[in-house]
Structure 1
Amino acid sequence: MGKSYEGNRHILIMSTLAFFVSVMVWFNMAPFNSTIMEQMGISKDEIGVLMLVNLGLAIPARIIMGQWVDRFGPTKVFSSLLMVMSIPCFVFAFGNSYEQLLLSRLLLGSIGASFVIGIRMISEWFPQKSMGLVQGIYAGWGNFGSAMASFSLPLLALIFGGESGWRYAIALTGLLALIYGLIFYRKVADAPPGKEFKRSPSSGMMRVNSHSDLIILVFLIFPIYGGVALLVWSLQRMMLLSLAWAVSLYAFLGVFYLVHVIKIWISNRSYLNGKVPSGEQNSMKLVGVLSLAYFSTFGAELAVISMLPMFFQGNFALGAIGGGMIASSFAFTNLVARPAGGWLSDRFGRKKILVMLLLLLSILYFSMSSLSGDWPLILAVLLTMSCSMVGQAASGSVFSMVPLVKKSQTGQVAGIVGAYGNIGSVCFLAVLNLMFPSFFFITIGVFAFLCSISSFLIKEPGPKNDVQERINSVNNYRYPTEIRQKV
């Protein structure tokens, strides 16, 4: 890949492992839900709240981490996040009250933002021509941390033995995060030797290219606050927050959103009056389309994984183990499907592949809406696996474009797009709670179809060829001015 990217495989391995550890910590509670209910004397609804708050803060945290990684660099931000999040992990592991479990789980949700940090790191170390593949490897193999937590933590709890076995197993993931955070800080760099890491302005607000793009950005960040409001509503419904506290938090979120909008306007006011740099002229319309595409792909994936075990148990008379095995297969297909989607985008064109995958995904989900117990089980499983493969490949295609939208603000773009994945899961599950599973699948299919149409209208981001990228790479070296001019 050239000397300008020497050492990039090491960075890919280190970043993927960092995300893998983060996901293990993020989902270390799931294997022990029944045990925690029994030992702590808490209800199924209270466990449900813990699961919800575990996802809740990941939405705004992805925006915040996106700003920080663009300003301070991925090395400092990723290592700090891993080490800091080990603290609430230890608190959760040895918590003796529901309030301790709730607060620590709420804070632990922030580790889900680790995804966007690695996106920026890898975008600095690899050329555009292989961006889809390496981002797919990072996301696909890193997300396997959830499956590893499900397989390994119950075994570790058994090895530790006793009633506190689950506590030691969860605490071990916190210790792993703490140690790996130190290793990550010492063993990686923000950019290859001689290549400058381009930081965002100190304001941390995303730069746009026009007033219409400014309006799009304002609308794009609104659902992020809506996701947190949904979390507040859930806590109030469970009587864990009083109505007065809930109303106060709603008001706080409204004020915070307005402040965010004002900061965006102040940051862009003078920028829009000047000439936008040639390398930063990609439209916020593209960010909006990619966000909605991730909403329909990764958001649907999370929602389907949540409902699939019960769906198969009810329609095909399977036990809990059989339904769980079908649901867990989503994690395994991710190892291949997401890198494959990125590779196809690199090889045959990002826009073309995204449109085709979204269109195929819509057809498959429309087919899922007709699933019933009358279907042969093997055919139902094949259709489900096909949805999984195509959806994850489409997610890989989305993030083959994200690092190419706005180089100096890749973290923020990834933060917005990534947050929409979490928002999508919340919205689709809300549809499932209100309607039948068939309508749930139809809704996903409709969104995927609309996204395929809108993706057809976007302009593919990034330099048109690798020659332009090589020129940019040379210009980024810290040669003396007179030497750079000769080059």
Structure 2
Amino acid sequence: MSAAEKATSIRLLDVHSPPMRAFHMTWFAFFLCFFAWFGIAPLMPIVRDELHLTKDQVGWCIIGSVAITIFARLFIGWLCDRIGPRLAYTGLLLIGSIPVMAIGLADSFTTFLLFRVAIGMIGASFVVTQFHTSVMFAPSCVGTANATAAGWGNLGGGVTQMVMPLVYGAFVTSLGWTSSSAWRGSMFVAGAICFLTGIAYYFLTQDTPQGNYADLKARGLLAKKPAVEGSFRAACRDRRVWVLFVAYACCFGLELTLDNVAALYFVDYFAELKSADPMSALKTAGFIAGLFGSMNLFARALGGWIGDKFGSKSGLSGRARWLFLTLFCEGIALLMFSQARTLAVGIPLLMLLGLFVKMSNGATYAVAPFLNREALGSVTGIVGAGGNVGAVLAGFLFKSSAITWPTAMFLLGIIVTLSSFAVLAVRFADKAAEDLAPQGEPSLGHGAAIAQA
């Protein structure tokens, strides 16, 4: 531990120290949120047939699932600065689990869309995850900690693609449920687990290495509210924050989009699955889509770790150069994947794309914690919201009747490739937090500044 009690290394077997306990709870909570958020995606071929959804309506469901998250992420970042990540995460898990369970009540496009929009609020869990790890780990390893926790959490988006068709199949084959009841029951299970995790988060974590916000305030160790007033405005005035907003729109926004469309994309555009029986096609498409998400097991952490290495040599500018490289390669990989029409070609390209998408995610948040330490929650929220803005805009391409989904993929590849150069267009020459903090004694003050004990 440092003098500020922040962890200076990641010890995965440590479940007792506050930083490592928070680390494990944040990635696990985020994993379950992602699992529930996109739990319906691999079941969409079933839902589409039952509710008679058109391509336009499916497109609106894709957009709706990520639209509310934009505002939820901005709000939750502000909230973390004020009440701390422990209470923010607990409330988000408890409230967010309700529409996940309740989507089973949908009986039309309108009701299904409303629940799909409401579920999107749990996507704000990413901001709390990044906030909590940022205040628990020292600058020497915060990029790796952020990327690992977020990557393992995002893994839920891949696991749900594989698991939910199996849960659905178990309800149908083992319990004799109808197709309609089975997908509804599957979502109820996902929501119930999120609810229980919210309770666990309250009891098993604390806000900072020194304690909870309420305790620190009582001891006079928490900066008063004026110290964080204007943090959102300060973050908005920093153009570097908006560059990361665009970068995250191009990487995490693409990840959200693929989590939503991958199963349907393979079922509709790959001949091997179009000719298979529906249950087999559903499970196979879910497994393939899950391979994309499974890259989070290591790739996002790898992106953050390499970002830390670049930062140790070249400061914030080095971190930015690494982000450019991962984004550029992501765009090229997406262009190639958009042209694939057989599984033998499509699966390897999808995994290559997944590698660069996840590394770009990690590289972005190897930069973000160092832009404005006094407004960390606001910076994290703005950048995080960029991912959802990107997903919303991409959703309009997939709902358009004028272009096919492969064409939409190709256009996104062009956009990502060109947007990567925005990172190089901005100077990241300021002294980063890692340069300002003495070795082993990182600066305090993430969000609500915590005074030296």
Q: Same fold (TM over 0.5)?
A: yes
Alpha-carbon separation, structure 1, partners of 2:108 and 2:361: 39
Shift of the 46–295 alpha-carbon distance from structure 1 to 2, 3 Å rule, reads closer
2:395 equivalent to 1:441:
no
Partner residue of 1:464?
435
User: Mapping of 1:246-325 within 5 angstroms?
Assistant: 284-303=238-257, 317-319=271-273
Q: Of 333, 345, 361, which aligns to 1:395?
A: 361
Highest relative contact order (Cα 8 Å, sep 6+), 1 or 2? Answer: 2
Q: Which residue of 2 aligns with 1:419?
A: 385
Cα displacement (A) at 1:206: 2.9
The match for 2:71 among 52, 56, 60 is 60
After TM superposition, the structure 1 = structure 2 runs for residues 102-141 of structure 1, keeping only pairs within 5 Å, are 102-141=113-152
Provide the aligned length of Structure 1 versus Structure 2: 407
SS at match of 1:459: coil
2:231 to 183, 206, 225: 206
Q: Secondary structure at the match of 2:433?
A: coil
CA shift at 1:139, angstroms? 1.0
Structure 2 match to 1:259: none
Q: Taking structure 1 as reference, are residues 25 and 204 closer, same or farther at Cα in structure 2, changes over 3 Å only?
A: farther
Name the amino acid aligned to 2:419: F
What are the ranges of 5 or more consecutive residues in structure 1 without an aligned counterpart? 218-282, 480-487
Contact 2:157 2:259 (8 Å CA) reproduced: no
Q: Tell me, what secondary structure is at the counterpart of 1:139?
A: helix
Match of residue 12 from structure 2: none
Structure 2: state its 5+ residue gaps: 7-16, 275-280
Name the structure 1 match of 2:200.
Answer: 183
Structure 1 position 192 matched with structure 2 position 217: no
Residues 124 and 191 in structure 1, CA contact (< 8 A), matched pair in contact too:
yes
SS in structure 2 of the partner of residue 328 of structure 1: helix
Tell me the distance in 1 between the aligned counterparts of 2:109 and 2:342: 44
Structure 1 pair 471–341 and aligned structure 2 pair: CA distance change class (3 A): closer
CA distance in structure 2 between the aligned counterparts of 1:371 and 1:95, rounded to whole angstroms: 34
Offset at residue 102 of structure 1 (A): 3.0
After TM superposition, list the pairs within 5 Å mapping 1:371-410 onto structure 2: 382-410=348-376
Corresponding residue number in structure 2 for 1:341: 303
Alpha carbons 2:101, 2:191 under 8 Å: kept: yes
- Paired with 2:185 and 2:68, the residues of 1 have a C-alpha distance of 25
How far has the Cα of 1:18 moved from its partner? 1.1
Once residues 308 and 330 of structure 1 are traced to their aligned partners in structure 2, the CA distance between those partners, rounded to angstroms, is 9
| Per-residue CA distance 1:139-185 (angstroms, 9 max, x = gap) | 11101112222222232333333022222221112211111111111
For residues 45 and 340 of structure 2, the distance between their equivalents in structure 1, rounded to whole angstroms, comes to 32
Q: 1:199 to 1:420 in 2, by over 3 A?
A: farther
Distance 1:421 1:367, change over 3 A: closer
What's 1:9 paired with? 20
Matched, 1:143 2:168: no
Q: Pick the structure with greater CA Rg.
A: 1
> Is it true that 1:453 corresponds to 2:424 in the alignment?
yes
CA distance in 2, matches of 1:128, 1:152: 36
For the residues of structure 1 that align with 2:340 and 2:36, how far apart are their CA atoms?
40
**Which residue identity does 2:254 align to in structure 1?**
A
User: Aligned-pair distance for 1:80?
Assistant: 0.7
The residue type equivalent to 2:435 in the other structure is: K
- 1:374-396 alpha-carbon deviations (Å, 9 max, x no partner): 99986765555333322321221
In structure 1, what is the equivalent of residue 88 of structure 2?
A: 77
Provide the TM-score with structure 1 as the length reference. Answer: 0.73
**Counterpart AA for 1:177:** C
Aligned partner of 2:9 in structure 1 is none
For residue 307 of structure 1, report the CA deviation from its aligned partner: 6.1
Q: Distance in 2 between matches of 1:372 and 1:86?
A: 35
Q: Aligned match of 1:50 in 47, 56, 61?
A: 61
1:252-305 deviation per Cα after TM superposition (whole angstroms, max 9, x unaligned): xxxxxxxxxxxxxxxxxxxxxxxxxxxxxxx71221221122122222344456
Cα distance in 2 for residues equivalent to 1:400 and 1:463: 11
Quick one: which of 32, 40, 46 aligns to 1:29?
Answer: 40
How many Å apart are 1:190 and its aligned residue? 0.4
Q: CA shift at 1:127, angstroms?
A: 0.5
* Residue deviations 1:336-367 (CA, integer Å, cap 9, x gap): 11101111111221532431442354256347
Q: Distance in 1 between matches of 2:184 and 2:269?
A: 36
For the residues of structure 2 that align with 1:374 and 1:193, how far apart are their CA atoms? Answer: 52
Deviation at 1:128, TM superposition (A): 0.8
